[in-house]
Structure formats: C-alpha cells, structure tokens
A and B are shown apart, each in its own frame.
Chain A
C-alpha cells in the first residue's frame, strides 16, 4: 500500500491518464491484458501471457492523494477510493480484438488478465495495517487468481479466468472499503475520547 507522502495533486502520467483530484482520497488502477496495449502500464510496459507479470511501480504517476486526511468518520475517503478504482478499471478494459473469423471469444483464448490497484493511505502505518488485514483473505484464492500485495506499491491480480477476475477484484474492493471505514471510525472515536479526557482534567 502506498504512503501518500510525496507528490500531491493529480498528474498526467505517461499513459495519458489523469485521475480526478478528490480532496479525500484517490485510487489509481491500471489494467492490461493484451500485447500491444502499451498505454496501461507506463512504468513496466505491456504485459501478455508470454511475459512474466511485474508489479506496477510505486512511483506510477497516474494519481496521488492530496495532502491531508479525510474528515473523521467520513465514508467518502474509503468508498470513493474503492469506487474510483472500480470505475477507472472498468473504463480501461482492453478492447476485444477479433480473430480472423471476427469471433472475440477465439481472440481471448489463453490471455492472462492483469489488474492492479494503488491505494493512497494517510500514513505508512495505516497502509501496513490494511495490508495485514486483507492479505489473509487473498491467500484463499491463490490457486485460481494470483494476488500480489506490496507494502509500498500496489496490489496486482493475475488470472486467466475473467469471471474469477471480476469477483476477486470486487470482493477485495468491498473488503478494502470496510477496513478503511473501520480504521477511520475507530480512530475518530479514540480522538473524541482523548479530547473528553483532557477536558475533564482541565
């Protein structure tokens, strides 16, 4: 998971993507599934089933979170991050390439599908907390869908099954949203309690 310290504000990356700058949180996602689709991975180049998958670079300039934290208890940060990641992923689905007969099914064949999400957290501590929360769930699916978590990078999915691909990503985004809401809510409660404690003492 990525620590947002560093660049602030949306930037246009080499892939030509510019993510909208939401004040609370942003997520960037990249997907690439066909050879020759060179626009989706600005750092590591195109991926296809014959080349080994490489995780997206942590310095992917597609978007970075704005400085500052989401408002305490606000669902916007977590839900917006999840929704934006999903929306951007859907809009970037690779075009179907028809085969000689014009049949798209035959063109997909044994294509390896990949999808990566970079989630900006408020701090490295929060990022690591979320990673440790979510990585245990991902292990169950490793047979059919490979997921790769990196502490300072992104989460990368690889599979040949498009249905499992979609299910795995959607499940992860739901769980990520839940984890982030939980973190924000419990931290907000702790802040309020500390404030009450100080006011009683004074």
Chain B
C-alpha cells in the first residue's frame, strides 16, 4: 500500500461511507455520542485525511472527539468479541508485532519486533516467490504452506523478549531462488518453513510473557492472527500451560473501523476527550502511551 494512493482513496470515499453507515444503521447525527478516529500509528497521509473529516464532523455536529490508538483498537475489539478478561495479547499484523499485557492502567509492551513486522516479512517473501496478492499474500502463503512437505532450516531470531524478522527475510530472499532452481525444495516447502519458524518465535515470546505475568489467557489480534496455523501453535502452547487461547476470525482480526469505535466508546465512557489542539495524527503512537482508565 502506497501512502499517497491510500490517502487519495480515503478522501474519495469517506464522505459517502459516512453517509452510508448512518443510513444503514438508521441513525442521524443526533444519535451519535462521540467521534472516534485513528490517531496512530500508521501511514501519515491516510491518517491525516481521515482526521480532517473527523475534526470537521465533530465541530459541525458538536460532538466530542476521541483519538484512538490503532493497537488498542485491536485489543479492545478482541476482548469484546472473545470475552477474554485479562489476556496476554499477541498483536501481529503487517505493521506491528508486539506482545502486550495490561498492568496498572497501561497496555505494557513486553516484547516486540526490533525491525520489521511479521506480516511485512510474510508479504515481502510472497513478493519474492511472486505469490498473488489476491485476496492477500499472507492468506496465499498459508494455503501453500498446507501443501509443504519439507522443513527447511531458516534463521531463528529471538532476542530475549524481542524478535527479529529482517534476517530471516534476507536469508530466504537470497536462498529461495537458488533452492528452487536446484530442486532442493518447492515453493510450498518454503512457505511452510517460513511459517513454522516465525510462528514458533512468536509463540516463544508470548509464552515467556505469560510465564512472567502468571497469565492464563492468551489473545491473538491483528491481521496475521487470522492464520489458522498460528492459532494452532498458540493453542498447543496454551494447552501445555493450562491456559486458554482466544482468537477471532478475519472480520475482526483485520483492520476495521468498528474496533476504533469500540475503543473510542470505552474511552468516551471513561471520560477521555481529545481537544482539537491535540488531535494531530502520530505515525509512531506507542501502545503504552495511552492511559487505560476504563480498566481497573
């Protein structure tokens, strides 16, 4: 996704989408309590475009404005849909990879990627193998991995509570063509091997966080959380620990507006408000920057 093209798309459709949402819900501006929008993190141009509309609508309708952290949107949607009470969260997407646990009014980041996100790694690997983007590269890698028969050893990089994916990506970008040319393995084997390796890394750091927190619940959120193999591996780890795994399907894993509304609703109920002067977007909005006053 190119930021400029994405922003152009958002500007072109957002007003119609807003009207359509209200019409479909049978609501008017008077029924709306507050305006929640994504303050960050993410790509600057699309975030700024949507923030412009949110500010304008909030002023025209005289409603409070709430800038929501995208990561917290995922977490609150996951908690709402699954009913998890106080899980250790594995947040995995194309832009973010974090292990998060709630403590004293903050979503604390226990571990994260020190370079690229796991979804970014998968997407760029798909590009190397010229795998289709339809419906998504990650989905197609998952389907191909089901047909893999051979585990190819790949760099496994866990650094304490953190993970690194750029090395494994560099290795597989370099080795893939050579191995495929010599018939050492098939593209399906590479998909399978990459998934097994990166998912095992994620399971390890999640388990470490759960052990540290004494947590009996794990929640997977983010677009990569749709991956059934990841859910299977996490479920196996949870079972060994006597813990419970919570996960959602693609309707709620993948980025969506409802999760921003859900988090915004929680914030609104807790008394949060975002003044216009502080409503600028933040491309690097950390999960632990938000004071989570709606939880004990």
List residues of chain A with CB under 8 Å of any chain B CB.
129-130, 132-134, 136-137, 139-140, 171, 174-175, 177-179, 181-183, 185-187, 189-190, 193
Contacts and interface: CB of A to CB of B under 8 A. Distances in A.
Interface stretch (B167-175, B210-218, B276-284): B276-284
A121 B120 CA distance: 44
Contacts of A182: 15, 52-53, 56-57, 60
Contact of A134 (B19, B52, B57): B52
Given A132-B55, A140-B48, A178-B11, 14 more contacts: A129-B59, A129-B60, A132-B276, A133-B276, A136-B55, A136-B277, A137-B280, A140-B44, A171-B45, A177-B11, A178-B14, A178-B53, A179-B56, A185-B15
B28 interface: yes
A189 B281 CA distance: 28
Contacts of A134: 52
Contacts of A136: 51, 55, 276-280
Given A137-B281, A171-B45, A193-B28, A132 B51 contact: no
Contacts, number: 68
B49 interface: yes
- Greatest chain B CB density within 10 A among A179, A181, A182 is at A182
Chain B: interface residue count, which band? 20 to 34
Contacts of A133: 52, 55-56, 59, 276
B57 A178 contact: no
Contacts of A175: 48-49, 52
A134 B270 CA distance: 28
A182 B49 CA distance: 12
B12 to A, nearest CB: 9
Contacts of B28: 193
A189 B20 CA distance: 13
Interface string B153-168: 0000000000000000
A174 B281 contact: no
B49 A178 contact: yes
A140 B56 contact: no
A32 B279 CA distance: 32
A133 B65 CA distance: 12
Interface in B8-31: 8, 11, 14-15, 19, 28-29
Contacts of A129: 56, 59-60
Contacts of B280: 136-137, 139-140
List 4 tightest A-B contacts by C-beta distance, closest first. Answer: A136-B280, A133-B55, A182-B56, A175-B52
A118 to B, nearest CB: 20
9 contacts: A132-B59, A133-B56, A136-B278, A137-B280, A140-B48, A140-B280, A171-B48, A178-B52, A182-B60
Interface in B36-95: 44-45, 48-49, 51-53, 55-57, 59-61
A26 to B, nearest CB: 22
Contacts of B45: 171
A175 B52 CA distance: 7
B23 to A, nearest CB: 11
A186 B60 contact: yes
- Greatest chain A CB density within 10 A among B28, B59, B279 is at B59
B43 to A, nearest CB: 13
B49 to A, nearest CB: 6
Contacts of A185: 15, 19
Nearest to B47: A137
Interface in B202-238: none
- Greatest chain A CB density within 10 A among B55, B276, B277, B280 is at B55
A137 B60 contact: no
Contacts of A137: 48, 51-52, 280-281
Contacts of B51: 136-137
A183 B49 CA distance: 14
A134 B49 CA distance: 10
Contacts of B14: 178
A171 B44 CA distance: 11
Given A136-B277, A137-B280, A187 B60 contact: yes
A171 B47 CA distance: 12
B57 A186 contact: yes
A81 to B, nearest CB: 15
Nearest to B50: A178
A186 B57 CA distance: 8
